[in-house]
C-alpha cells in the first residue's frame, strides 16, 4: 500500500535461512523486520515459562529479539541487517556459545578530539557543531541507518524557524546528515560502545561487526537516547504488544505494518501521533486508552485523531492482552479516582496489536559505567547523569545530550547537542570565541522552547539536576 508521506527504497531482494525455511527479504531490512513481514511474530521464548516473545523496541534495547545468527548467539536481530544466505534460528530459550574460537578480528584504532556516542538528533547536532569548530570527530551508532528516532518521525515538528519548525522529522534527519557529510567526521555504524575508560582522556571500547575498535578521545558526548517503558498487565509479553517507537520503526523505516487493528495505551504526544500514523498506514485504530483524567499530549494532536473517528478513553487502562501465541484482543477497564479498576466496566476490543506509549527511560549505561554521578529524577524519566547547563557530567570531558540527559523532545535534543558539541570543542581550545556565540544562541533557543506550561515539568527536573551539578562537578 502506498504511504501518504513516505517512499520506501527497499533495495535488492535477498534470501536467508530461518530454521530451515527460506525467507525472502530486502537488503534494507533488519532480520527481525523481515521475519515480522513474513508473519513470523514469535522471535524467541522466555527462559523459564517458555512464553513466546516478539518484536518490541526495534532499536536494540529491549532484548526481545535475540537470536542466533550464523552460529553467534544473542544477536539483536532488530538492528542486524539481512544478508544473502545468513542462517537465523531462534533460541530455545537461551543461545549457546560457539565451540570454536571466533575468527581473528582486526581491531581498529582511532584517535579523535571528540567521540559522539549515538547518532540521533542530539549526537548529530553535537558532531556538526564540534566539526565546524575544527574538532576531529567520530560518531559511533548502533543502528544500520543513522539519524536516531528522527528517521521515523513522519510528522512536522513544532518549534521556531531556526529549529526546523514545520519540517518533518525524516527531513530534519536528511538535513543534519547532509550537513555532517560536508564536514569530516568519521562514522562507525552498527557500533556499540562497550565501555569508556575515562581518565585524563577517554579510552573507549567499541564493538563493531568487523571486530572491536579502540577509540581515544579527549571528550565524549553521550547521546544514546532512551528505552521504551513497559507496564505490568497479564500477557504484556505476547507478540503483538509493541512499543510505540518499535512500531514506528517497523512502519516507517522498513515499511512493515504488522497488523490490521490496534489499541494504543497512553494519550501523550507519542501515543496520539502514533495513532495518526497508524491511520495513515491503513490500520484500524480502535481506541486510545489513558489512565489519567486528561490527555497528556497537545490538544491539536488529539484533535487530529478524534476527527478521524478514533475514541480517546480517559480514566481507562488495559486490563489484559488476550491471545495465546499472539495478540488477539485487548481488554480494557475503567478506573476510579485512585486508579483502581472498576469491576463490571471491562470492554473487549478485537485487535492484533497493542501499542504501548507509556513513556521512556533515559539510556545512561555509558556514563554510569564511566562513573558519572547520577540521580533518579522522575520529571526527566528516571535515572539521569548529573549535568550542568552546558551538559557537562561529573566525568571530566564527558557530556550528555538529548533523551539520555532527560526525556524531552527532538528539538531540545538538537539544541542540547549543539551546546555540548560546541562546549567540548571550546574546552579543547578550538575557536572558543566562536563556540561561545553558538552556545549562547542555543541556550537562548532552549529557554524559549521550554517557556511554556508543557515544559514546566522538564524545567523543574533540569533545575534540580543543575543544582546537583554545582556540588558534583568541579
Partner 1 sequence: MSEPGVIPEDVLAELLPPDEKAEGRAVAVIECHEEIPCDTCRWVCPVKAVIKPAITTPPRCDWDACIGCGTCVLACPGLAIFMVKLDGEWAEVSVPYEFLPVPKRGEVVWALDRVGRRVATAEVVRAVTSKDRTSMVTIRVPRGLAHSVRAILPPEEGTEG
Residues that bind partner 1 (CB under 8 A): 2-5, 155-161, 165-168, 171, 267, 279-280, 282-285, 290, 293-295, 298-310, 312, 314, 411, 448-455
Cβ atoms of 106 and 400 within 8 Å: the answer is no
Return the C-alpha cell found at 196: 569508556
Residue (290 or 403) nearer to partner 1, CB: 290
Paired sense of beta strands 21-26 and 13-18, if any: antiparallel
Cβ at position 16, least distance to partner 1 in Å: 32
Residue (299 or 342) nearer to partner 1, CB: 299
Residue (32 or 288) nearer to partner 1, CB: 288
Q: Which helix (H) or strand (E) holds 460?
A: helix 456-472
Cβ at position 6, least distance to partner 1 in Å: 9
Residue (169 or 323) nearer to partner 1, CB: 169
Cβ at position 166, least distance to partner 1 in Å: 4
Cβ atoms of 224 and 417 within 8 Å: the answer is no
Residue (49 or 161) nearer to partner 1, CB: 161
Cβ at position 225, least distance to partner 1 in Å: 21
Q: 187 by DSSP, 3-state: which?
A: strand
Cβ at position 36, least distance to partner 1 in Å: 20
Return the C-alpha cell found at 144: 544500520
Report the C-alpha gap between 121 and 415 in whole angstroms. 9
Q: Cα–chain-centroid distance for residue 39?
A: 24
Report the C-alpha gap between 15 and 413 in whole angstroms. 38
Residue (163 or 224) nearer to partner 1, CB: 163
Cβ at position 26, least distance to partner 1 in Å: 22
Q: 328 by DSSP, 3-state: which?
A: coil
User: Of 128, 151, 124, which Cα lies nearest the Cα of 140?
Assistant: 124
Cβ atoms of 192 and 395 within 8 Å: the answer is no
Residue (31 or 295) nearer to partner 1, CB: 295
Report the C-alpha gap between 277 and 182 in whole angstroms. 33
Cβ at position 439, least distance to partner 1 in Å: 20
Whether omega for the bond prior to residue 172 falls within 30 degrees of 0, making it cis, is no
Residue (287 or 439) nearer to partner 1, CB: 287
Q: Is 123 left (phi over 0), alpha (psi -120 to 50) or beta?
A: alpha
Largest CA distance in the chain: 67
CA distances, 106 to each of 197, 212, 215 (Å): 21, 8, 14
Q: Is 424 left (phi over 0), alpha (psi -120 to 50) or beta?
A: alpha
Residue (172 or 193) nearer to partner 1, CB: 172
Cβ at position 160, least distance to partner 1 in Å: 6
Q: Cα–chain-centroid distance for residue 380?
A: 15
Q: Cα–chain-centroid distance for residue 311?
A: 27
Cβ at position 148, least distance to partner 1 in Å: 19
Amino acid at each position: 500500500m502506498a504511504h501518504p508521506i513516505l517512499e520506501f527504497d527497499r533495495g535488492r531482494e535477498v534470501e536467508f535461512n530461518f530454521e530451515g525455511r527460506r525467507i525472502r527479504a530486502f537488503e534494507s531490512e533488519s532480520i527481525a523486520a523481515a521475519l515480522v513481514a513474513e508473519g513470523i511474530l514469535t522471535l524467541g521464548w522466555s527462559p523459564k515459562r517458555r512464553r513466546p516473545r516478539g518484536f518490541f523496541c526495534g532499536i536494540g534495547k529491549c532484548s526481545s529479539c535475540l537470536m542466533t545468527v550464523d552460529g553467534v548467539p544473542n544477536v539483536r536481530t532488530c538492528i542486524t541487517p539481512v544478508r544473502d544466505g545468513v542462517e537465523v534460528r531462534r533460541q530455545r530459550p537461551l543461545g549457546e556459545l560457539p565451540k570454536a574460537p571466533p575468527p581473528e578480528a582486526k581491531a581498529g584504532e582511532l584517535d579523535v578530539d571528540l567521540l559522539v556516542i549515538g547518532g540521533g538528533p542530539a549526537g548529530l547536532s553535537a558532531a556538526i557543531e564540534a566539526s565546524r569548530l575544527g574538532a576531529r570527530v567520530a560518531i559511533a551508532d548502533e543502528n544500520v541507518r543513522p539519524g536516531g528516532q528522527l528517521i521515523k518521525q513522519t510528522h512536522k515538528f513544532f518549534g521556531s524557524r531556526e529549529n526546523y519548525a514545520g519540517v518533518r522529522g525524516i527531513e530534519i534527519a536528511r538535513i543534519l546528515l547532509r550537513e555532517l557529510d560536508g564536514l569530516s567526521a568519521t562514522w562507525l555504524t552498527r557500533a556499540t560502545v562497550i565501555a569508556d575508560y575515562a581518565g585524563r582522556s577517554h579510552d573507549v571500547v567499541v564493538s563493531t561487526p568487523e571486530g572491536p575498535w579502540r577509540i581515544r578521545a579527549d571528550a565524549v558526548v553521550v547521546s544514546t537516547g532512551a528505552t521504551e517503558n513497559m507496564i505490568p498487565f497479564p500477557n504484556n509479553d505476547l507478540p503483538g504488544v509493541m512499543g510505540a517507537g518499535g512500531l514506528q520503526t517497523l512502519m516507517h523505516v522498513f515499511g512493515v505494518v504488522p497488523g490490521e487493528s490496534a489499541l494504543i495505551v497512553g494519550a501523550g504526544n507519542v501515543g496520539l501521533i502514533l495513532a495518526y500514523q497508524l491511520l495513515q498506514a491503513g490500520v484500524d485504530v480502535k481506541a486510545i486508552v489513558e489512565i489519567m483524567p486528561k490527555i497528556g499530549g497537545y490538544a491539536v494532536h488529539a484533535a487530529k485523531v478524534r476527527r478521524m473517528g478514533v475514541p480517546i478513553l480517559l480514566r481507562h487502562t488495559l486490563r489484559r492482552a488476550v491471545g495465546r501465541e499472539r495478540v488477539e484482543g485487548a481488554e480494557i477497564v475503567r478506573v476510579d479516582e485512585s486508579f483502581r479498576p472498576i469491576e463490571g466496566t471491562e470492554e473487549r476490543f478485537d485487535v492484533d496489536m497493542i501499542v504501548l506509549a507509556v513513556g521512556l527511560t533515559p539510556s545512561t549505561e555509558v556514563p554510569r559505567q564511566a562513573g558519572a554521578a547520577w540521580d533518579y529524577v522522575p520529571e526527566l524519566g528516571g535515572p539521569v547523569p548529573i549535568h550542568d547547563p552546558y551538559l557537562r557530567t561529573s566525568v571530566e570531558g564527558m557530556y550528555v545530550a538529548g533523551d539520555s540527559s532527560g526525556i524531552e523532545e527532538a528539538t531540545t535534543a538538537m539544541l542540547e547537542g549543539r551546546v555540548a558539541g560546541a562546549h567540548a570543542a571550546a574546552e579543547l581550545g578550538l575557536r572558543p570565541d566562536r563556540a561561545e556565540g553558538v552556545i549562547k544562541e542555543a541556550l537562548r533557543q532552549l529557554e524559549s522552547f521550554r517557556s511554556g506550561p508543557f515544559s514546566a515539568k522538564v524545567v523543574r527536573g533540569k533545575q534540580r539536576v543543575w543544582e546537583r551539578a554545582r556540588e558534583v562537578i568541579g
